[in-house]
Amino acid sequence: MLRRLSVAVTVAVMVATTGWLVAHGQTGEYKIGVLEPLTGPLAGEGKRHLEGYEIVRDMINARGGVMGKKLVFAVADAPDPTAAASEANRLITRESVKIITGTFSSRLCGAASEAAARHNVIYWETSCVDPRFNKRGLKNVFRTEIDATGFGWYNIEFIVKHLAPRFNLKPNQLKIAFISEDSSYGQGVTESALARAKELGLQVVAPVEYYNFQTINDMTPIIVKLKQLNPDVVHHIAYTNDAPLFWRQAREQNFLFKALVHAGATGYGGSDFGKATGKDGNGVFALLEPGPGFRLEALRPEGQKIEKEFRDAVQKRTGSYPFGAHQLAGGGLWLLKVVLDRAQSDDLDKFRSAVMSLDLPVGSMINGWGVKFSEDGQNSNERVQHYMLQWQNGQLVTVWPEEFTTNRAKWIPLGPWDARK
């Protein structure tokens, strides 16, 4: 009797456990490689990017993980391209990962994905914007974020469609100057914006002023030169400390232009710019993922739900609205889950056909993104909706396209430095 009872109890426990496991869908772990610059000059953004991954990883695991397993990370530090390549190799050979994601920076994604390609491992890039990334004929690389060409395109759209009418200028009357740090990111965005500006007949006042963000100590010579050329718009792609340096010195020199436009989560698009300048940073534009003021109602129902959950999770962990690095990582990792749900495999061919078969409209996902990949592994400009944000009293808020936001762009044109309150 006792024996029978114990068998029955054991069976019952087993059934219950299996039931629980089936309900939660998690039997074992599924490990992916995560490459981030966690030391070196990009460490600040790299850590924030990793934080975005971790938040979405927990959201994914709360829903049953990927392919029935709990999603876990093998994290590696990639401060420079050499480390990115060697760490990618290590993740593949030692940690046996079949998917690598990362890397925040355009300096890193090329080298890391090249290494992954040699092992036929899936490389899922969520934030680098180097246009060359998926122009190399590699079948294993995918990118969820738009490339720099897209950034430049969006910036000129904003300048021509939104700023020019508010300055009472026709596009061909608008004078624009380009300044940029000289990494592939800065060059990619700047060259595409420049080409688009010329196409639309804007007056480009000087050749692009490129500089190295790690060694620039004085922007005054650039400012003095541009001041004489009197541009309406300054298109400045900055990386880190070069943004507050330019802004402080432009103010010192009383360089009066009508607007400054940047793109990306670095430089003017990073939280550090707000901390460095406070209200003095008022008026600067940065093309980014959505910020405060973003209307959830403008998204599709499924997009609203996941976006809200993501924002709340970031708020809970960091005490603030998601930053660009969180959003790129979060949006990208969520999309990876959607692909794995469909492919149910990390075999490159099956994974690839799942990616190509996805067709989701704008507003379906985190950041209001949609999905439609091209054959070279790039999610399309039109689906990866981008937004213009503006620094308003120490906060970056969404101001354009206007149907997506409750905020409106201010200080157009910028006016005197001391009058931007």
Partner 1 sequence: MDPARPLGRPQIDVVAQLGVSTILLGGIYALIAVGLTLIFGIMRVVNFAHGEFLMLGMYLAFWAYTLLALDPWFVLFVSIPLFFGLGLVTYVLIMRGIIHASHNVQIFTTVGLSIALQNLALVLWSGDFHTVRPWHAGAPIRVAGTAFNLSQVVAFFIAIALTVALFAFMRWTHTGRVMRATAQDRDAAILMGIDTDRVYRITFALGIAAVGAAGVLVSPLYAIYPQAGLQFVLLSYVVVVLGGLGDMVGALIGSLIVAAVEVAGSYWFGTAWKEIFYFLLFIAVLVFRPAGLFGQRGAETLGA
Could you tell me the smallest distance in angstroms from the CB atom of residue 153 to partner 1? 25
Residues 6+ apart with CB under 8 A from 257: 177, 231, 232, 233, 234, 414
The region of 208-216, 297-305, 311-319, 342-350 touching partner 1 under the rule CB under 8 A is 208-216
Could you tell me the smallest distance in angstroms from the CB atom of residue 313 to partner 1? 21
| 268-287 footprint of partner 1 as x/- string (CB under 8 A) | --x-x--xx-x-x-------
Residue at token pair 């607007």: 259
The region of 13-21, 209-217, 290-298, 386-394 touching partner 1 under the rule CB under 8 A is 209-217
Could you tell me the smallest distance in angstroms from the CB atom of residue 265 to partner 1? 13
Whether the ω angle into residue 405 lies within 30 degrees of 0, i.e. cis, is no
**Beta-ladder partners of 371:** 360
| 146-185 footprint of partner 1 as x/- string (CB under 8 A) | ------------------------------------x---
395 binds partner 1 (CB under 8 A): no
If the CB atoms of residues 19 and 278 are measured against partner 1, the closer one turns out to be: 278
If the CB atoms of residues 137 and 207 are measured against partner 1, the closer one turns out to be: 207
211 binds partner 1 (CB under 8 A): yes
Q: Among residues 24, 39, 394, 411, which is the contact residue for partner 1, using CB under 8 A?
A: 39
CA–CA separation, 144 and 139 (whole Å): 15
81 binds partner 1 (CB under 8 A): no
Could you tell me the smallest distance in angstroms from the CB atom of residue 352 to partner 1? 35
Whether the ω angle into residue 401 lies within 30 degrees of 0, i.e. cis, is yes
318 binds partner 1 (CB under 8 A): no
If the CB atoms of residues 40 and 401 are measured against partner 1, the closer one turns out to be: 40
Could you tell me the smallest distance in angstroms from the CB atom of residue 118 to partner 1? 29
If the CB atoms of residues 213 and 404 are measured against partner 1, the closer one turns out to be: 213
**Residues 212-231, interacting with partner 1 (CB under 8 A):** 212, 214-218, 220-222, 224-225, 228
**Residues 228-247, interacting with partner 1 (CB under 8 A):** 228, 240-241, 244-245
Could you tell me the smallest distance in angstroms from the CB atom of residue 173 to partner 1? 23
If the CB atoms of residues 209 and 341 are measured against partner 1, the closer one turns out to be: 209
**Residues 116-135, interacting with partner 1 (CB under 8 A):** none
Instruction: Read off φ and ψ for residue 143, nearest 5 degrees.
Output: -135, 130
Number of residues lying near partner 1 (CB under 8 A): 41
If the CB atoms of residues 9 and 224 are measured against partner 1, the closer one turns out to be: 224
253 binds partner 1 (CB under 8 A): yes
Radius of gyration in angstroms for the set of CA atoms belonging to the chain, rounded to a whole number: 23
Could you tell me the smallest distance in angstroms from the CB atom of residue 396 to partner 1? 15
Interface residues toward partner 1, by CB under 8 A: 39-47, 182, 207, 209-212, 214-218, 220-222, 224-225, 228, 240-241, 244-245, 248, 251-254, 270, 272, 275-276, 278, 280
